Each structure stands twice: as C-alpha cells, then as structure tokens.
Amino acid sequence: MKILVADDDKIFLALMVNILADSGYEVIEAENGVEAWEKLQAEGADLAILDIEMPEMDGRELLKLMMSDDRFKNIPVLVLTVGFMAEDIVGLYTESTLDYITKPFDSEDLVTKVQELQNRLPK
C-alpha cells in the first residue's frame, strides 16, 4: 500500500515515514500541500495522511481538492491535528474514509489508524 504523508514539520514527517516504512508501507512524503497535491497527481496513493496546518496549501484545502477530483475522492485520509482542532475537522468532513489523530501520537496508534482506514477500503 502506498501512503502519501504531508507535514511541514520535518521531525514529524521523518517520524511518520520511518514508522510507516518499518510497518511495510511504501511512503511518499511532502512538506506542504502544494507538493503533496503534485505528488498525488504524479504518483497516486492508496491512503493519505495530511497535516492540517501547512504553508502554501493547508490540509483543508488539499482535502477539498482531493474530494472534488474523481481520481482521489475515495482515498482514505488520516488528518493530523492538535487536540483542540480535532472536532472541527471531523465536523467538516464526515466521510467514512476520514479519521484523525492528534499530535503528538504514539507510533502504534498511527499504524492502528492506518490499518483501520485500510480495512474500510472495498475488498
């Protein structure tokens, strides 16, 4: 499974890439929403992990682009957010393929969330 990970925090980005790669996933990394959108269009992905607060294009904007594009609207998305923003994000997007995880997170929690989203995909 190929996962697009977008986060402008280089430490969190590297951490997620390492956790996911160690769990057997192919990872595409991006440091902002514009780069993530370009890589998604060029390389595709089976799942996306998007930070909400990013420069150039934030996670909300990127998610809206994905949901409006037939190629990407059904890709499961895990949103990265700080605790106080989590309910706002879930309220905006109630798709069954959307979930969130708050920063900071435990590596096992990240992998579990990814697996849960993966299990929601049609077989």
pLDDT tens-digit series, residues 14-42? 999 999 999 999 999 999 999 999 999 99
Q: Tell me yes or no: is domain 2-116 CATH 3.40.50.2300.
A: yes
Query: For position 84, what pLDDT does the model report?
Result: 52
For residue 50, what are its two tokens?
């998007």
Mean pLDDT of 91-116: 79
pLDDT of residue 56: 87
pLDDT at res. 63: 87
When pLDDT is cut at 50, 70 and 90, the band that residue 83 belongs to is low
Does residue 5 register a pLDDT over 60?
A: yes
pLDDT tens figures, 37-76: 999 999 999 999 998 888 888 888 898 899 889 999 889 9
Pick left, alpha or beta for residue 15 (phi over 0 → left; psi -120 to 50 → alpha; otherwise beta): alpha
